Structure 1
Amino acid sequence: MRLPTQTVIQMYQDNLFRIAFSICQNREDAEDVVQETFLRYHSGAVDFNDEMHIRAWLIRVTINQSKNMLRTFWHRNRTSLEDYMEQLNFSDTESQELFETVMKLPEKYRTVIHLFYYEDYSIKEIADILKISESNVKVRLNRGRTVLRDTLKEAWDYEQSE
């Protein structure tokens, strides 16, 4: 099975951008990663089983490309997270604080939290996408949640003491 490239772009562009951004933490790098992912899809000769296989393949390529981007020289000269945060619009300050905290997590926790909470993937699906065991996904989710909870609790306790 192979869908037309334009159809795949329309269906997955936003999701892939969010995944790439959660890893790269830079708009330009994330856009480059998504573009490269679609180029690989368009020029590749992979035959997919179904639409879910296409989606999983695109996410896997996006994650790999994002990790490769982190290793490049250009990534070290990216826009800071603070500069990018000024460009985003949030419905309330709590959403912004949560986003900032998630984006500061180590990459391995940030990726599984993003896939689980923002992309609604199951633990099994995340394990397949990241090529790690389900128990490893659970550990990373648990540790990521713990870091988030501790960080947000510290901020909450600090605000209460003022």
Structure 2
Amino acid sequence: MRDEQEACRAIERYADTVKRLCIIHLKSGPDTEDIFQNVFLKYVLSSAVFESEEHEKAWVIRVTINECKDLLKSFFRSRTVPLEGLPDLPAQDPSGGREVLEAVLSLPQRYRDVIYLHYYEGYSAVEIGKLLSKNVNSIYTLLHRARTLLRKNLGGDEFE
């Protein structure tokens, strides 16, 4: 079990990443808050020893994705009707960034994960492959297909 100081440091360092991942997966503010609490509770109760800050971040991302998937598979989630629309998300870039974020959120789950981890978190295809337990070539394929879908959805065909 970790002490309070270590938990506060982890929350300060990874809070934004966890929240963004949750919003991308769940598209719900209250569910995001629940998963946020679960992730950091698991962090505090975990006895895992991290080799580096990157290892710790990868652990937090993996736990967050797994928690989101578990919630989406839950009995409660499958027996409720989703609310229409997304919660108001702060746009990274006020001059059109919202449109790109909405396009990313509209992608199928397998594409959304790799695009988010690559462009928003800065991971390479090799690192994403390790995080998601997938072959690196599969990650390259998913990135290519996701970019093609985004280009089509955003009307960017003239840039080819």
Normalising by structure 2, report the TM-score. 0.85
More deviation in 120-129 or 89-98?
89-98
Aligned length: 152
Partner of 2:42: 40
Q: Which has the higher contact order (CA 8 A, sep 6+)?
A: 1
* Aligned amino acid, residue 107 of structure 1: Q
After TM superposition, the structure 1 stretch with the greater mean CA deviation from structure 2, 87-96 or 133-142, is: 87-96
Task: State whether residues 123 and 138 of structure 1, in contact with CA within 8 Å, keep that contact through their aligned partners in structure 2.
Answer: yes
Judging by fraction of residues, say which structure has more helix: 1
Paired residue secondary structure (1:136): helix
Residue deviations 1:70-99, cap 9 Å, x none? 11223644433x251xx2344546222211
Cα deviation per residue 1:35-90 (whole Å; 9 max; x = unaligned)? 1111111011111112111111010000111111111223644433x251xx2344
2:96 is paired with a residue whose SS is helix
Change (3 A) 1:89 1:37: closer
Taking structure 1 as reference, are residues 95 and 65 closer, same or farther at Cα in structure 2, changes over 3 Å only? same
Residue 70 of structure 1: aligned partner: 72
Instruction: Among all aligned residue pairs of Structure 1 and Structure 2, give the percentage whose two residues are the same amino acid.
Output: 34
- Which residue in the other structure is 1:54 paired with? 56
Aligned to 1:111: 113
The residue type paired with residue 115 of structure 1 is: L
**Paired AA for residue 153 in structure 2:** T
**TM-score under structure 1 length normalisation:** 0.84
Which of 66-75 and 17-26 deviates more?
66-75
Query: How far apart are residue 150 of structure 1 and its match?
Result: 1.0
Task: Report the secondary structure of 1:4's partner residue.
Answer: helix
Q: Where does structure 1 differ by over 4 angstroms across 4 or more consecutive aligned residues?
A: none
